[in-house]
Amino acid sequence: MSVFWNEKAETMSRDELASHQLTSLKNTVKLAYERSPFYRAKMDAAEIKPQDIEMLEDIRNLPFTDKNDFRDQYPLGMLCVDKSELREMHMSSGSTGSPVVMAYTEHDLDLWAECMARCYYMAGLVSGDTIQITPSFGLFNGGFGFYHGGRKSDMFIIPAGAGNTPRQIKLMNDFGVKALMCVVSYAIRIMEVLEDQKAEIPSLKVGIFGSETFSDKMREKIENGLGIEAYDIYGMTETGGVSTTGMDCQVHNGIHVWEDQYICEIVDPATGKTVRDGEYGEVVFTSLSLQAIPIIRYRTGDLTRILTRQKCECGRTSLRLDRITGRKDDMLIVKGVNFFPKQVEQALMEIPGIGSNYQIIIEEADGVKDVRINVEAEEGVTGFVVEKKLKEVLGFSPKGDVYKIGALPRQDGKAVRVIYENNGSNGGK
């Protein structure tokens, strides 16, 4: 039986959604044009004015924005309200340039909490349930997004933050935690420590995972290992944080997008032209309610497709995206073959006895790239078996080694799956 946090918003008819989106789009474009020199310059260059938005299809005439715009306008060059109205900010690490900043008014924080509350209820949680938040509380948005939503939906929150896995397990058992919030790679770490302790967490029923893409086989491994139902949550700094753009429901047939808050398009990554439903492309979001930094046709770099706009078995009427295949800039090209890390993970998880930790090492010498894939596995799993499976998927035989379970490095936070080595030394992409 479906549980709704905001049944009216989550079950709007397609006609109601379209009417709401058009009105909100007009308001957002007007706000951005009138209050932000950045957006005014973008729209003037595209020769479009707010009054030119007469129907939803006119959104395609608006200029795109992307991560470089956020970086170029650091720290608050995209702001559409007075700074005195801001109440919070979060940002990306900035490891590849200036960081991406998202600032929030009180209204924006409430919107974020609203989206997260919907996700909690969509996962079958209700007010009073105990949740444990393991992403860090700081400039990264993850911990606070789960927290704001937990407060709004009256959950009992264990704000554990990152690291100290034995303590995390103790807290879950001591307080009867029902739902765990974390990245997939950390769930694997919890499973390993539980196995070492010969322990379990009987109260745990739900896991909500964000920040990392993961394969169906990895989902299955986590669900079996922790005895939970796993959910794939979606959102990023630029859209306002974790949960803002949606999550999969208990049917697990695509990610529900909160269409009353965001317009979602799929475009051809090369041309920027909108593709038909069912075709793969790049996800583009336009916010309909954000005040501080609204996003207009933001190119996420994420690749997927629209599965359907039909009403879901869960009762929600929003469109559903297929799970994220990868990111444009995550695609690897080795020996003339294009592939994504998620494809490697899916293949590895299909091998009996394979562990959950692996490394994809891209080696480059004199401009020539090669790949080495290191895995952990139980005794009896040979390099030949791994190589044979990967060749079926990738079309060539990568180098690599098989290690004992626990031998490869671990991280308490987001896993580093792809490592770049240039002429034998570690380096960035």
pLDDT for the residue numbered 115: 97
- For residue 114, CA distances in Å to 31, 142, 258, 268 come to 22, 15, 10, 31
Whether 93 shows a pLDDT value over 70: the answer reads no
Tens digits of residue pLDDT in 114-138: 999 999 999 999 999 999 999 989 8
Whether pLDDT at 38 is above 50: yes
Rounded CA-CA distance 39/365 in Å is 43
Separation CA 105–CA 58 (nearest Å)? 28
Per-residue pLDDT band for 152 (boundaries 50, 70, 90) equals very high
Q: Which CATH architecture has domain 1-328?
A: 3-Layer(aba) Sandwich (3.40)
Instruction: Note the pLDDT of residue 427.
Output: 41
Whose tokens are 């317009």? That residue is 263
Q: What is the 3-state secondary structure (H, E, C) of 20-77?
A: HHHHHHHHHHHHHHHHCHHHHHHHHHCCCCHHHCCCHHHHHHCCCECHHHHHHCCCCC
Q: Which of 308 and 389 is assigned the larger pLDDT? A: 308
pLDDT 10s digits, 370-404: 888 898 888 888 888 888 888 887 777 788 889 98
d(CA 67, CA 51): 27
- Please give the residue that has the higher pLDDT: either 409 or 149: 149
Give SS3 for 216: helix
Which two tokens mark 374?
């290191």
Question: What pLDDT shows up at residue 383?
Answer: 85
Question: What pLDDT does 276 receive?
Answer: 96
Question: What's the mean per-residue pLDDT of the chain?
Answer: 90
pLDDT at site 68: 92
> How far, in Å, are 235, 236, 346 from residue 63 at the CA level?
22, 20, 36
Residue 411's CB is within 10 A of a number of other CB atoms, namely 14
Please report the pLDDT score of residue 423 as a whole number.
58
Q: Evaluate if residue 95 carries a pLDDT over 60.
A: no
User: Is the Cα dihedral 164, 169, 173, 178 positive or negative?
Assistant: positive
Query: Cα separation of 286 and 256, whole Å?
Result: 16
Q: How many CA atoms lie within 13 A of 363 on its CB side?
A: 12
In this structure, how many other beta carbons lie within 10 angstroms of the beta carbon of residue 86? 18
Neighbouring C-beta atoms of residue 67, cutoff 10 Å: 20
Q: What was the pLDDT predicted at 426?
A: 42
Residues 6+ apart with CB under 8 A from 420: 361, 362, 364, 426, 427, 428, 429
Give residue 43's pLDDT. Answer: 98
Give residue 410's pLDDT.
Answer: 75
Q: pLDDT band at 336, cuts 50/70/90?
A: low
Q: Let me know: does 306 contact 275? Beta carbons within 8 Å.
A: no
**Span 405-423, mean pLDDT?**
75
Whether the per-residue pLDDT at 304 is higher than 90: the answer is: yes
% of the chain exceeding 70 in pLDDT: 93
Enclosing H/E stretch for 117: helix 106-122
User: Which residues in the chain are classed under CATH 3.30.300.30?
Assistant: 331-427
Residue bearing tokens 């987001």: 414
pLDDT digits (tens, 9 = 90+) for 341-375: 777 887 888 888 888 788 888 887 666 678 888 98
pLDDT the model gives residue 231: 96
CATH number of 331-427: 3.30.300.30
pLDDT digits (tens, 9 = 90+) for 229-251: 999 999 999 999 999 999 999 99
Stretch 1-27: mean pLDDT: 94
Would you report the helix, strand and coil content of the chain in percent, each value rounded to 5? 35, 25, 40
Give the pLDDT mean for 207-220: 84
Considering only 83-87, 93-97, 272-276, 358-362, which range has the smallest mean pLDDT?
93-97
Q: Which is more confident, 280 or 330?
A: 280
Residue 409, token pair as written in the block: 């490095």
Reduced to 3 states, what is the DSSP secondary structure of residue 2? coil
The predicted pLDDT at position 418 comes to 80
Report the distance separating Cα 429 and Cα 419, nearest Å. 8
Average pLDDT over residues 405-414: 77
Neighbouring C-beta atoms of residue 3, cutoff 10 Å: 15
